[in-house]
Amino acid sequence: MSEKFLRDMRILFAMLILFLGTLGYHSTWAQKKPNFIVILTDDQRFDALQANNNPVILTPNLDRLVKRGKNFTNAHVVFSLCSPSRAAVLTGRYGSANGVLELDSKLNPGEKTIANYLKAAGYYTGVSGKWHVDQSPKELGFDFATTFYSNGTYYGRKINDQGNIVQPAEHCDLYCARRSIEFLERAGADRPFFLFHNTQLPHMNDKLAWPAPDSIRARYQEADMPVAANKDDDLSDKPAYLKTVRNRTQAKEYGYPDKDKIQAHTKDYYSVLSEMDAFVGSILKKVEELGIADNTYIIFISDNGWMLGDHGFTRKVLPYLPSTHVPMAIIGPGIAASENSSLVLNIDLMPTILDLAGLKIPGNIHGESLKEILLGKEKNVRDHFVYEGLGTYGGAQPNLTVVSGPYRYIVTYEDDKLDRVNFRELYRIDDDPDEMTNLARGAAYTTTVKKMQRFIDLHRKEVVKPSRAAVH
C-alpha cells in the first residue's frame, strides 16, 4: 500500500469527520433554536373565548391551549383594524411609523418584518390564511405562502397557493389549516421554523353574514346569548361623528339595539368561532403528533376586538374597550400556566419572538419583549399605551387614546392634521367598564386629564411627527 494512498485516505477520513461534525452542529443548532407558531384570528373580541370567563361560547381547542400557557387578560391592539393591526404584529411598530393606517396599504420602504429577521437567522418561514398587507408574503420574508387576500366568501375562495391560484370548494380556513399542517410536516428537523397562521373567521363573509354549519349552530340557543348593558347608549356625551359612523348605521341595519336582534347576531358570531376553533385545533393536534411541542412557542391573538351592540355599535375601529381588547396567550418551553394582567400589546409579539430566539431586537421597535414575564420574572413592561386611531375607515374621525391604570382618555381631532381637538373623553374603567360616564370635564379629574394629555403629546412628538416628516 503506497504512502500516497495512505495520505489520501487520511485526508478523506478527516474530511468525513469534519462533514459529520458539521451535520451534528447544524442538528444541535436546530434543536436549540425554538420554533414559533403565531395564530392570528380575525375580529375575535376578548370575551369570545370560554377561557376568558364566558361560559356560553364553545371554544375547547383554544381553551386548552390558553390554559397551558400565559393567558394575558389585559392585551390590546394599537389600532383596531385588519391591515394596520397585522402590519403592527409583523413589524412591532405603530402604523404611523410603518405606513399602514388604512386597509390595503403598503409598509413603508425599508420596513422589516419578523419573517425577514427570522429568515436571515436561518428559520424556515411560512404564512397561511388571510393576508391583508399590499405586498406579497415573499417580499416580506416568507419562504412558504398559501394565502387569500382580505375578506370574502368562505367557500370557493381564490387562494394563492405557492404561486398557483386555486379555488377549493371547501372552507378557506379549512384549506389553509391543512396547508399549515403540511408546512409543519415538511419543515423538518434540520432548521427551526416560523409559521404565521391567519384565519378569516370570525370575520363576516362577503354578504356580511356568519354562516356556520347547522350542526354547530344547534349547540347554541339565542336566549343564552349575552347582551351589552350599554346597548342603548344615546352617545350624548361622546363625539358627534359616532351617530353617523358605519359602526352605528350598520348596527341599525342589523336591528340593533333590539335585544332579540343582538342575541340572534351573537349566536351567528359564536357559531363561526366554534367552527374556527375546530380548524385551529387540527393544527394544534399536529404539533403534538410531530413531537415538537417541547421546542415550539405558540402565540395566539386576534387582530382586533368586535362590538356586539356595545354602545349600540357593531364592528371595530373605534377606541372603546370591546374594540381594542383582545384575547392573547403564549405557550411554550419554560412558560408556566397562569393568567397575567400586565398591559401588553400586539406590537410586543415581534420583539418577544426575537428575544426568545436569541436574536437582537432592533432599536426602532415600539413593542416590548415579554420574555421575562413569560419565564416567571413578573414585571410590567409599561404603565400606559397610546392607541392610534388615525385611520378614517367607515367615517371615523382621527383620535389618539391613552390607556393607563384604570383610565381610558380619548382625544378626537377635527381632521388628520391633528391640530384641532374636537372632543375629549375620560373613563374610569374599574368603576365604569361600560364607558358611559365621561369624566373629562370634571374638576376632580383635571390633573388626570393633564397627565393623560402629556402621554399623547409625547407620542405625537416621538412617533407620529417623525414618521409623518419621513413620509411627507
Q: What residues contact residue 51 under an 8 Å CB cut-off, 6+ apart?
A: 59, 62, 63, 66, 67, 71
Is the residue at 1 inside a domain? no
Evaluate if residue 12 carries a pLDDT over 80: no
Residue 8, pLDDT above cutoff 70:
no
Q: Is residue 427 part of a domain?
A: no
Type and span of the H or E element at 145: strand 144-149
Identify the CATH number of the domain in which residue 213 sits.
3.40.720.10
In 3D space, the residue among 93, 193, 125, 363 whose CA is nearest the CA of residue 85 turns out to be: 93
CA angle (234, 240, 243) in 5-degree steps: 55
Tell me the pLDDT band of 24, cut-offs 50, 70 and 90. Answer: very low
**Looking at the domain assignment, is residue 70 inside a domain?**
yes
Determine the structural domain holding residue 225 and report its residue range: 31-382
Contact, 400 vs 387, CB < 8 A? yes
Whether the bond between 333 and the residue before it is cis, its omega within 30 degrees of 0, is: no
Q: Is residue 410 part of a domain?
A: no
Average confidence (pLDDT) over 170-198: 95
Query: For the segment 25-42, what is each residue's pLDDT rounded down to a tens digit?
Result: 344 444 579 999 999 999
Considering its fold, how many domains does the chain have in total? Answer: 1
Asked whether residue 271 is domain-assigned, the answer is: yes
CA pair distance 56, 59, nearest whole angstrom: 10
Residue 268 grid coordinates: 351567528
Q: What does the pLDDT look like over 334-386, one tens digit per residue?
A: 999 999 999 999 999 999 999 999 999 999 999 999 999 999 887 889 999 99
Task: Give percent above pLDDT 90 in the chain.
Answer: 88
Q: Residue 472's pLDDT is what?
A: 32
Whether 419 is covered by a domain: the verdict is no
* Of residues 13 and 334, more confidently modeled: 334
On whether residue 80 sits in a domain, the answer given is yes
Task: Tell me, yes or no, whether 447 lies in a domain.
Answer: no
